[in-house]
């Protein structure tokens, strides 16, 4: 992506946020000022609030060839320290009124800044992002994504959805994860279209944005669509506004077939689902002209090799049989930062093991049916490891033993449950929830805490999570 190419789009609208709109010339010039400031750095952190500053910062760093570590603004102390220690960025990019608690040199992003910048030559294997994501145990790992992954995903989706410069994407997704940042912000910009970010997601605001400007596509996680389903059933005016969109796209977690059908009944729109991971960006999607079958995530995108394997790693060719999804292609990450052990474990014969279990319909459509480990939870579209929450809980003086599981939740998909044996100085449910929210991040907090006298264990002393209840 060249800033000079962005600038050539001149007065076309690039970004619309509640606080500011920016055309392509303005975006290229403001990003140019960031690029000048970060040129030659090894790595930068971006305080990824849902504001235009994040988009400008990320584009500037990409133009300068400097890898970006997006930071969730709500990170608690322990998780923030882990990410900063592990990734060791040279600089923090943030809005002037943000990030004061982060002990790094800072560059304040100014959307009104104007600079032109000559971009250095880059290689498609150069790291673009280091995005932190949870595993089943331990602290989050930094996923090193090269420049080619962005290119592969955006061009694959553009082809599958007939996504062009004419499209305006509306969303209210966080900008510190792949969905909101890569698909929802860089995608439209790379294609010369526009982004309309709502600041935060509300069904009413999304409906307004879809028709007021107008916009053409809505991106969201299933929790957002479940809230849209409620809103459109209660208000037929809203239903018409969602019906006017060119495409409603869901991803990051399973979209319940019931939500898909409720939205179709109210709006006449059938949601398109696509499937990816932080480690792979996007793997599959239902195509614009393909059947939108609830419960399926469509076909591999151009350039993506996907197979389903049994425990021994042998490909399962037959439709209907369950196995693990493995992926190979230009969209797949390079490595976990500083974790050669975890990187080696994640690949088998050059294929990345997603941990997702799936079957294929006879026509090749992929149907995700679960995960290899129940210790990876998806709540509100966020990937959360049971182990990291257990570790945080065990550090609290009120906790003697802890186990974390999940339960189905109408709104969040899954909700986090903490099972606790108290110490001699017990803590309340609210204290433990707040402890996790403030040391890790609020979306990792248990929604329910259940106190027990003891936890069921096998002969080896391992907690039997399936016996909890």
Contacts with ligand MCA by CB under 6 A lie at: 74, 173-174, 177-180, 200-201, 221, 223-224, 251-252, 276-278, 380-382, 434, 437, 442-443, 445
The per-residue b/e assignment along 3-26, b for 16 or more CB within 10 angstroms, e otherwise, is beebbebeeebbbbbeeeebbbbb
Q: Are strands 366-371 and 448-451 parallel, antiparallel or unpaired?
A: unpaired
Q: How far is the CB of 10 from ligand AMP (least distance, A)?
A: 35
| CA 181-126-298 angle, 5° bins | 50
Count CB-CB contacts under 10 A for residue 257. 12
Q: How far is the CB of 330 from ligand MCA (least distance, A)?
A: 16
| CA 296-297-300 angle, 5° bins | 130
Between CA 153 and CA 183 the distance in angstroms is 8
Residue 111, contacted partner among ligand AMP, ligand MCA, none, CB below 5-8 A by kind: none
Residue 266 vs 440, nearer CB to ligand MCA = 440
Contacts of 459 (CB under 8 A, 6+ apart): none
Q: How far is the CB of 276 from ligand AMP (least distance, A)?
A: 6
Token readout for 306 is 């996907």
Between CA 224 and CA 247 the distance in angstroms is 15
Cβ–Cβ under 8 Å, residues 181 and 48: yes
Number of H helices, E strands in the chain: 14, 26
Residue 89 vs 222, nearer CB to ligand MCA = 222
Residue 419, contacted partner among ligand AMP, ligand MCA, none, CB below 5-8 A by kind: none
Q: How far is the CB of 21 from ligand AMP (least distance, A)?
A: 29
Cα Rg of the chain, angstroms: 22
Q: How far is the CB of 347 from ligand MCA (least distance, A)?
A: 18
Q: How far is the CB of 188 from ligand AMP (least distance, A)?
A: 19
Residue 56 vs 221, nearer CB to ligand MCA = 221
Residue 62, contacted partner among ligand AMP, ligand MCA, none, CB below 5-8 A by kind: none
Strand ranges inside 72-175, DSSP E = 91-94, 106-108, 127-133, 141-146, 168-171
Residue nearest to ligand AMP according to CB distances in the complex: 383
Query: Which residues are near ligand AMP by CB under 6 A?
Result: 133, 178, 251-254, 273, 275-278, 297, 354-356, 368, 371, 378, 383
Residue 304, contacted partner among ligand MCA, ligand AMP, none, CB below 5-8 A by kind: none
In angstroms, what CA-CA distances link 418 with 379, 388, 403, 404, 423?
A: 14, 12, 6, 5, 15
Q: How far is the CB of 415 from ligand AMP (least distance, A)?
A: 16
Residue 354, contacted partner among ligand AMP, ligand MCA, none, CB below 5-8 A by kind: ligand AMP
Residue 279 vs 335, nearer CB to ligand MCA = 279
Residue 180, contacted partner among ligand AMP, ligand MCA, none, CB below 5-8 A by kind: ligand MCA
Residue 112 vs 448, nearer CB to ligand MCA = 448
Between CA 1 and CA 59 the distance in angstroms is 9
Q: How far is the CB of 371 from ligand MCA (least distance, A)?
A: 13
Residue 373 vs 422, nearer CB to ligand AMP = 373
Residue 129, contacted partner among ligand MCA, ligand AMP, none, CB below 5-8 A by kind: none
Token readout for 426 is 């017990």
In angstroms, what CA-CA distances link 165 with 14, 44, 195, 329, 467?
A: 10, 29, 11, 26, 53
The per-residue b/e assignment along 53-84, b for 16 or more CB within 10 angstroms, e otherwise, is bbbbbbbbbbbbbbbbbbbbbbbbebbbebbb
Residue 443, contacted partner among ligand AMP, ligand MCA, none, CB below 5-8 A by kind: ligand MCA
Residue 297, contacted partner among ligand MCA, ligand AMP, none, CB below 5-8 A by kind: ligand AMP
Residue 174, contacted partner among ligand MCA, ligand AMP, none, CB below 5-8 A by kind: ligand MCA
In angstroms, what CA-CA distances link 218 with 3, 269, 465?
A: 26, 12, 38
Residue 293 vs 371, nearer CB to ligand AMP = 371
Residue 63 vs 68, nearer CB to ligand AMP = 68
Q: How far is the CB of 254 from ligand AMP (least distance, A)?
A: 4
Residue nearest to ligand MCA according to CB distances in the complex: 380
Between CA 433 and CA 438 the distance in angstroms is 9
Residue 12 vs 261, nearer CB to ligand AMP = 261
Between CA 47 and CA 227 the distance in angstroms is 28
Q: How far is the CB of 369 from ligand MCA (least distance, A)?
A: 16
């Amino acid at each position: 992506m060249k800033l000079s190419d962005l600038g050539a789009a001149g007065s076309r609208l690039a970004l619309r946020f509640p606080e500011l709109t920016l055309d392509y010339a303005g975006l290229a010039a403001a990003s140019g000022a960031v690029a000048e400031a970060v040129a030659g750095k090894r790595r930068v952190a971006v305080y990824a609030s849902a504001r235009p500053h994040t988009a400008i910062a990320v584009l500037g760093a990409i133009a300068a060839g400097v890898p970006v570590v997006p930071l969730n603004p709500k990170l608690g102390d322990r998780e923030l320290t882990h990410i900063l220690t592990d990734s060791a960025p040279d600089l923090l990019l943030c809005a002037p009124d943000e990030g004061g608690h982060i002990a790094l040199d800072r560059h304040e992003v100014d959307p009104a800044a104007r600079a032109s910048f000559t971009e250095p030559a880059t290689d498609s294997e150069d790291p673009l992002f280091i995005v932190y994501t949870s595993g089943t145990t331990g602290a989050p790992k930094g996923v090193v994504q090269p420049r080619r992954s962005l290119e592969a995903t955006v061009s694959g989706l553009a082809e599958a959805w007939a996504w062009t410069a004419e499209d305006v994407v509306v969303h209210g997704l966080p900008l510190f994860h792949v969905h909101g940042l890569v698909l929802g912000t860089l995608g439209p910009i790379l294609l010369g279209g526009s982004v309309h970010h709502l600041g935060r997601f509300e069904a009413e605001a999304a409906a307004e944005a879809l028709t007021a400007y107008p916009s053409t596509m809505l991106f969201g996680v299933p929790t957002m669509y479940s809230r849209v389903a409620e809103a459109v059933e209660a208000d037929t005016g809203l239903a018409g506004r969602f019906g006017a969109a060119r495409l409603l796209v869901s991803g990051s977690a399973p979209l319940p077939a019931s939500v898909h059908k409720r939205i179709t009944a109210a709006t006449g729109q059938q949601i398109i689902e696509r499937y990816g991971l932080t480690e792979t960006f996007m793997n599959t999607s239902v195509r614009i002209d393909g059947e939108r079958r609830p419960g399926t995530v469509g076909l591999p995108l151009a350039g993506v090799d996907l197979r389903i394997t049994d425990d021994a790693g042998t490909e399962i060719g037959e439709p209907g049989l369950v196995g693990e999804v493995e992926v190979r292609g230009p969209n797949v990450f390079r490595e976990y930062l500083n974790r050669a052990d975890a990187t080696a474990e994640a690949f088998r014969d050059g294929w990345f093991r997603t941990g997702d279990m799936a079957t294929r319909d006879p026509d090749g459509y992929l149907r995700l049916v679960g995960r290899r480990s129940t210790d990876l939870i998806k709540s509100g579209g966020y990937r959360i490891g049971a182990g990291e929450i257990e570790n945080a809980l065990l550090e609290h003086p009120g906790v003697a033993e802890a186990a974390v599981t999940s339960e189905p939740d109408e709104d969040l998909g899954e909700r986090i449950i903490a099972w606790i044996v108290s110490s001699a100085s017990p803590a309340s449910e609210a204290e433990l929830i707040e402890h996790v929210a403030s040391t890790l991040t609020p979306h990792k907090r248990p929604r329910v805490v259940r106190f027990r006298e003891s936890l069921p264990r096998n002969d080896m002393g391992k907690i039997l999570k399936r016996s909890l209840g």
